A and B are shown apart, each in its own frame.
Chain A
Amino acid sequence: MTFMKIAELEFGSLLSYTPRGHSPSSIHARNFMNLLKTEGFVKDATTGRAVLMSEWVAETIQQYGKELPFSHFFQPTTILVPAPKSSLMQPNTLWVPEKIASALAAKGIGAKVQPCLKRVNPVPKAATSLACDRPLPLHHYRSLRVVGTIPQPDEIVIVDDIITRGSTLMGAANRLADAFPESKIRAFAVMRTISNPDKFNQLIDPVIGNIELRSFGDTIRRP
């Protein structure tokens, strides 16, 4: 684990879902997750207006403002770095974390988007892999590169759509830490996965927490 400088990463998330469970709220949250991954639309129950998922996320964060436990992540100088997909990408491919980061920046949540992390080798998708085959932070770290030349930011937030164990974010944070050793690096994921359906509360459930790199090379996410 000698390559990895960061062993603990602070993260924030706005929403939650559970991959199991049959309650109306858990089904609703799963539908939300599926639409988030394809940049679908949300209709506001009061106004009837349909907005893109990424824009709804930015509007909701703006609306809650300082009430959110992770609001201090997004300073006026914070650089937003979209997390790469697990696969390679053709040109003009939907890149949901980039859409979310752009929507945040457009609302003045953070300074600007720097899509400087690139996946050079694909890794297996965590969601469709057996637990033993899921990529570890080191696999993500080795498959990512920082591209382009940008000045060292004071603060970086890696933006992702969904966090499960936090392996992608941990690998990405360590790759960024190599390029920007003086920067404060945090992570934001719109939704966090709650494996146990009994522990799922509701869709909008903002938290701040930590991803810890364990000695086995995997991660544990709290909460």
Chain B
Amino acid sequence: MSKFSNEIGWIQLGKKYSDYTLEDLLGPLNEVERKYAPKRLFVSGELTIPLPSPRASIIGSRKASSKGLEATKFIAKTLVKEKAVIVSGLAEGIDTAAHETAIEEGGNTIAVLGTSLDKFYPKKNTLLQEIIMRHHLAISQFPVGYPTQRKNFVIRNRLMALISDASIIVEAGNTSGSLHQGWEALRLGRPLFIWHSILKNTDLIWTKKMLQYGAMILTDPNEVLESLPTSGRILMVTP
């Protein structure tokens, strides 16, 4: 249950949203980034466009353990302290903890939705979604009225990797949707971190393979900061 779900008298979903290209949000894209980039994005919220940097995704299981939730809060708190924007997918569990910690710590957060902006999924995060749509930023690649389908969430995970300068998987089972984002981050050449406690779970078959393909083990959230550019995607160079 989201801790924001008991607030009362909160806004109805704002009717206002904007239509952007990914280049509007992120700046120019290279060839590898363009491969799965959606042409249009629907955005609601207050964050500046182009998006502020650096941005880090914190993602993982919907049915998170208490240790996983604690780790999420610790990572998000550390990153927010250093002005990183926390990106996640508004799902239950790890995603919710990541967004909520960013808000509580006075940072910024971006929710990348697997539904169109007029839908709320999961229902229990309705209020959290409204807060994000009003004071932070919600992004969807699906136009208003677009039917919600399971595959949309997989496509959304690719977008989340593209929006994030780095991705961190805190907790994920063998069939977790977070793994799609992990593989996409590796394909994009972006840093992918696996929280160290995941490695203790010997039932997981994805960790070894992802490490072979370039994922890194994360024990200190400050290591993420070292891999993040503070300059956005375009750097001015004087001769």
B154 at the interface (CB under 8 A from A): no
For the complex, what is the distance from the CA of A76 to the CA of B148, rounded to whole Å?
Answer: 56
Known: A35-B229, A38-B190. A203 touches B214 (CB 8 A): no
The digit string for B202-239, where 1 denotes a CB below 8 A from any CB of A, is: 00000000011110100000010001111101111111
Q: Could you say which of B28, B32, B216, B228 contacts A41, with CB atoms under 8 Å apart?
A: B28
Chain A neighbourhood of B30, CB < 8 A: 39-41, 52, 94, 99
Residue in chain A with minimal CB distance to B187: A93
Question: Using a CB–CB distance below 8 Å, which chain A residues touch chain B?
Answer: 27-28, 31-32, 34-35, 37-46, 50, 52, 56, 85-90, 92-96, 99, 122, 125, 128, 203-204
- Enumerate 13 A-B pairs (CB-CB under 8 Å) in ascending A order: A27-B230, A34-B228, A38-B190, A38-B229, A39-B189, A40-B234, A41-B234, A42-B234, A87-B213, A88-B213, A88-B214, A93-B189, A125-B214
Q: Could you say which of B188, B214, B235 contacts A43, with CB atoms under 8 Å apart?
A: B235
Residue in chain B with minimal CB distance to A38: B189
B183 at the interface (CB under 8 A from A): yes
Question: Using a CB–CB distance below 8 Å, which chain B residues touch chain A?
Answer: 27-28, 30, 32, 35, 183, 186-190, 211-214, 216, 223, 227-231, 233-239
Residue in chain A with minimal CB distance to B190: A38
For the complex, what is the distance from the CA of A126 to the CA of B186, rounded to whole Å?
Answer: 17
Chain A neighbourhood of B190, CB < 8 A: 38
What is the minimal beta-carbon distance from A69 to any residue of chain B, in angstroms? 18
Residue in chain B with minimal CB distance to A204: B239
Are the CB atoms of A35 and B233 closer together than 8 Å? Answer: yes
Residue in chain A with minimal CB distance to B188: A94
Are the CB atoms of A90 and B183 closer together than 8 Å? Answer: yes
Are the CB atoms of A203 and B27 closer together than 8 Å? Answer: no
What is the minimal beta-carbon distance from B54 to any residue of chain A, in angstroms? 9
Chain A neighbourhood of B213, CB < 8 A: 87-90, 122
Chain B neighbourhood of A204, CB < 8 A: 239
Chain A neighbourhood of B228, CB < 8 A: 34
Are the CB atoms of A34 and B229 closer together than 8 Å? Answer: yes
- Please indicate which of the listed interface residues B28, B189, B236 has the most CB atoms of chain A within 10 Å of its own CB: B189
Are the CB atoms of A44 and B237 closer together than 8 Å? Answer: yes
Are the CB atoms of A41 and B229 closer together than 8 Å? Answer: no
What is the minimal beta-carbon distance from B208 to any residue of chain A, in angstroms? 10
Are the CB atoms of B186 and A90 closer together than 8 Å? Answer: yes
Are the CB atoms of B233 and A40 closer together than 8 Å? Answer: yes
Q: Could you say which of B27, B28, B188 contacts A38, with CB atoms under 8 Å apart?
A: B188
Chain A neighbourhood of B28, CB < 8 A: 41, 50
Are the CB atoms of B35 and A31 closer together than 8 Å? Answer: no
For the complex, what is the distance from the CA of A99 to the CA of B32, rounded to whole Å?
Answer: 11
